[in-house]
Amino acid sequence: MPSTKTNSINQYCSVCKDHFEMDVVKQGSSKGVVWLKCPGCQGFLPYMPDESEEPENSRGGDSEQQEIALEDLDIENAKEYSEKNVYEVGEILHHRSWNDFGRVVSKDRLPGNRRTIWVQFLRQGKIQLLEGVE
Ligand SMILES: [Zn+2]
């Protein structure tokens, strides 16, 4: 028997709460699914490629992610958001429709010289809003 590792895949076992080199087990009944056998608990589990574990919150125009908490925000002095107003980076906003607080993290301009702000909201995440609309 050649002792190659080509028929094993490193995967996390939620039962053992650890990663193992798992032997690939072929099961004819479930076509397309690769089954692995965990050497820890001897259980069988389907092979799951890493990309299926990615969280699906890739909203926003760039890659910078800033998590904020309610206690980080001076909500006593939050300004009501209106697209007619103009805001500064660092200001705290309250968006009435969403009942959500957020902080202005950056400013941007869209084609047509429309002014926008990027706001990191507590619940909605990072959202681009218009400002200074005439
Ligand atoms: Zn296991």
The per-residue pLDDT for range 68-122, each reduced to its tens digit, is 787 778 888 899 999 999 999 999 999 999 999 999 999 999 888 899 999 999 9
Answer whether residue 63 is part of any domain: no
User: Between these two residues, 50 and 110, which has the higher pLDDT value?
Assistant: 110
d(CA 86, CA 39): 61
The verdict on 46 and 74 lying in the same domain is no
Answer whether residue 84 is part of any domain: yes
The verdict on 90 and 119 lying in the same domain is yes
Contact 10, 48 (CB under 8 A): no
Distance (Å) of CA 84 to CA 62, 74, 89, 95, 109: 25, 22, 16, 13, 15
Contact 83, 133 (CB under 8 A): yes
CA of 54 to the centre of ligand 1 (A): 22
Answer whether residue 3 is part of any domain: no
CA of 48 to the centre of ligand 1 (A): 15
Ion ligand 1: residues, CB within 5 A, are 13, 15-16, 38, 40-41
Question: Domains in the chain: how many in total?
Answer: 2
Q: Per the confidence metrics, is the pTM higher than 0.75?
A: no
pLDDT at 53 over 90: no
Contact 22, 35 (CB under 8 A): no
* Residue 119, domain extent: 70-131
What's the pLDDT at 64? 53
Mean pLDDT of the chain: 82
pLDDT at 63 over 50: no
pLDDT at 16 over 70: yes
Answer whether residue 29 is part of any domain: yes
